[in-house]
A and B are shown apart, each in its own frame.
Chain A
Amino acid sequence: MQSVVFPNKILPYFLVLPQIILTVVFFFWPASQALYQSAMREDPFGLQSTFVGFANFSAIFSNGEYLHSLQVTVVFSVATALLSMGVALLLATAADLVVRGKGFYRTMMIIPYAVAPAVAGMLWLFMFNPAMGTLAYLLRRNGIAWDPVLDGNQAMALVVVAAAWKQISYNFLFFVAGLQAIPKSLLEAAAIDGARGARRFWTIIFPLLAPTTFFLLVVNTVYAFFDTFGIIHAVTHGGPAKATETLVYKVYNDGFVNLNLGSSAAQSVVLMVIVIALTAFQFRFVERRVHYG
């Protein structure tokens, strides 16, 4: 790679300044605030703060509710990532077989990605609301005791489906691109080598999609961890009985509803560490992904 050298000493700094400002204002400042808050305890009236060191952290890690929320998050993330990626892969391989109206089909598939998380949540809430939901009515009429407002597992299933549904479009796009990147001659060679249908998919296509799949796994996990607040807020409010309270939802609930700022800040610091770890993981492995040819 050829590096470009600017003769002017100040110009380069001006060029990166907007990015630096954005990062400082919207990341470093709030992040440092969170770090600072996580080591403080507010008095009940918010008049003064006392420095408590790591007490907030030891408090949350010895708190059963927090650990339960961690467990909920893991279940929610894994289920969302697997569901959205599985369905997207199925649709992408199906899209590969479509001959007529390919462009239209693909465009339609992408639309859900343009829907805001809260709106997506509301859509699913309306459909599955035990009191007025059309699909909830159908479920109950067919003998399924559908009540996500009372049943934690059903509530979890509902938010997982709503969160996955929104992400399918995104995954679909990447899988379609990944499938198109597989050289046609490889598939022809496999056809001559006598590999058909499922066998060809699992021995040739799926391994060649591995870089895409891995990339999406990380992206989807991050999405399920951090970007699903709107869906959970709209559908279940973390309930019933905290059955769908993920870490992000708990940060919001403890900080802005229960006004326990110190604990909330400590929790957001933990989340920050998780996202940094995930990103580092992604850079380390995805960047050195499989090379074709």
Chain B
Amino acid sequence: MARIELKDVRKVYGGGVDTIKGVSLDIADGEMIVLVGPSGCGKSTLLRMVAGLESITAGDIMIGDKLVNGLEPAERDIAMVFQNYALYPHMTVRQNLAYGLKNRNTPKEEIDRRITEAARALEIEPFLERKPRQLSGGQRQRVAMGRAIVRKPAAFLFDEPLSNLDAKLRVQMRVEIRRLQRSLATTSIYVTHDQMEAMTLADRLVVLNAGRIEQVGTPIELYEKPATTFVATFIGSPSMNLMKLGNGAGWTAANDAGLPANAVTIGIRPEDIAIAGSGVSGPMTAEVTVAAVELVGAESYVHGTTTDSQTIVFRVPGRSHIQIDEKMTLTADRRNFHLFDKDGQRI
């Protein structure tokens, strides 16, 4: 139970590699924060700095109002779940769970009680006497979670914990982590590169790009009002269409005057576009030629080319009978347009 505060945290590796270029973040008690970004954006480094596995070049990290910059990982009262689980292969599941408590001289009855409790919550009771190698990936993941839970730390740190699981299990574990985190109400920082995972797990999302925070907000805020073109393309799948304005933009309207003068790029999500005459209509229209059709089950994504040779992706519900090279008119509502200036900042 703790608040975590990052104040202008920086990380420069030897040789002058700037990995984290000043990150400030205030995480409320019990909050689930997801750090998301492309690989190499510094999200794992930031998490490991909070854990104490990487040194801090500049800035302060506070956990529960205590400055932890110089503290050992063990003294920070945090627990971490690793991508490869990092279970001790020579110990049984029970010993794995007990290890951190034993090192802290927790009384034996208390250790047993906590293990029983955690094992029940995670449904790993039948495996307590087994070695990690005798478990499946999903079971190992649960044990790794259990090792964090039994410690009852001030904060959980998750480093891409689901990326080694198959797609189905990942969704299942995602729901479970969310449920556990809610019921334990432990402050958590979760690192992932998967925007779906980020959207579904987060109380608040932090989008990182090249060592800087692009935007912080609830998943829906980021989806509805991306602050930059980077966030706009990163959140949502398939990603938002970004199209250049000017010299005969793809989208035309009866009245173009509605767009601000400094708008350089417009963004529109595939789900906000409809085919003209299909019942939905908006004031903005675009002429496109179909380049490809992707059927993903309940819906299809159509890739098209506008008259000014920009690509656009839009969604059509159900199975579509659209043919390649077909020409059609698209329509969209002005309110669903996201406008960005020449620096990619939202207007």
A-to-B contact residues, CB < 8 Å: 183, 185-186, 188-196, 199, 203-204, 207-208, 210, 290-293
Contact = CB atoms under 8 A, between A and B. Distances in A.
B103 interface: yes
Contact of A189 (B52, B72, B86, B90): B86
B72 A196 contact: yes
B100 interface: yes
B132 A293 contact: yes
Instruction: Give the interface centre of B78, B80, B86 by most chain A CB atoms within 10 Å.
Output: B86
B86 A185 contact: yes
Contact of B99 (A188, A203, A291): A203
Contacts of A188: 51, 53, 73, 80, 82, 86
State the 5 A-B residue pairs at the shortest beta-carbon distance, nearest first.
A193-B100, A194-B74, A194-B103, A185-B86, A189-B86
A192 B89 contact: no
A192 B84 contact: no
B133 A293 contact: yes
Instruction: Give the interface centre of A188, A192, A195, A293 by most chain B CB atoms within 10 Å.
Output: A192
Nearest to A192: B73
Given A191-B73, A292-B89, A183 B84 contact: yes
Contact of B89 (A190, A191, A208): A208
A290 B133 CA distance: 10
A199 B82 contact: no
16 contacts: A183-B84, A188-B86, A189-B86, A189-B147, A190-B88, A191-B72, A192-B73, A192-B78, A194-B100, A194-B103, A194-B104, A195-B103, A196-B74, A203-B99, A290-B89, A293-B133
B42 to A, nearest CB: 18
Interface string B64-75: 000000001110
A185 B82 contact: yes
Interface residues of B, number: 25
B79 interface: yes
Contact of A192 (B80, B83, B90): B80
A56 B90 CA distance: 48
Contacts of A208: 89-90
B11 to A, nearest CB: 17
A293 B88 CA distance: 8
Contacts of A203: 99
A207 B74 contact: no
A98 to B, nearest CB: 16
A167 B52 CA distance: 39
A203 B96 CA distance: 11
Chain A interface SS verdict (over half): helix
Contacts of B73: 188, 191-192
Contact of A185 (B84, B99, B103): B84
A272 to B, nearest CB: 36
Contacts of B99: 190, 193, 195, 203
B133 to A, nearest CB: 6
Given A207-B90, A210-B90, A290-B89, 6 more contacts: A189-B88, A191-B73, A193-B99, A195-B103, A291-B89, A293-B132
B51 A192 contact: yes
Nearest to A203: B99
Given A195-B103, A199-B103, A189 B82 contact: yes
Contact of A186 (B51, B88, B104): B88
Nearest to B90: A207
A8 to B, nearest CB: 43
Nearest to A189: B86
A241 B147 CA distance: 61
B103 A204 contact: no
A194 B90 CA distance: 18
Nearest to A292: B89
B146 to A, nearest CB: 13
A192 B132 contact: no
Nearest to A208: B90
Interface string B91-119: 00000000110011000000000000000
Interface string B128-152: 0000110000000000000100010
A290 B88 CA distance: 12
A120 to B, nearest CB: 36
Given A207-B90, A290-B90, A293-B132, A191 B84 contact: no
Nearest to A199: B103
Instruction: Give the interface centre of B72, B87, B103 by most chain A CB atoms within 10 Å.
Output: B103
Contacts of A199: 103
A192 B74 contact: yes
Contacts of B133: 291-293
Contacts of B151: 193
A195 B95 CA distance: 14
A185 B88 CA distance: 10
B110 to A, nearest CB: 15
A293 B53 CA distance: 21
Instruction: Give the interface centre of A188, A189, A291 by most chain B CB atoms within 10 Å.
Output: A189
Contacts of A194: 74, 100, 103-104
A188 B133 CA distance: 19
A196 B103 CA distance: 9
A210 B133 CA distance: 16
B132 A204 contact: no
Contacts of A185: 82-84, 86
B214 to A, nearest CB: 28
Contacts of B53: 188, 191-192
Contacts of A193: 74, 99-100, 103, 147, 151
A189 B80 contact: yes
Contact of B74 (A191, A204, A291): A191
A204 to B, nearest CB: 6
B109 to A, nearest CB: 19
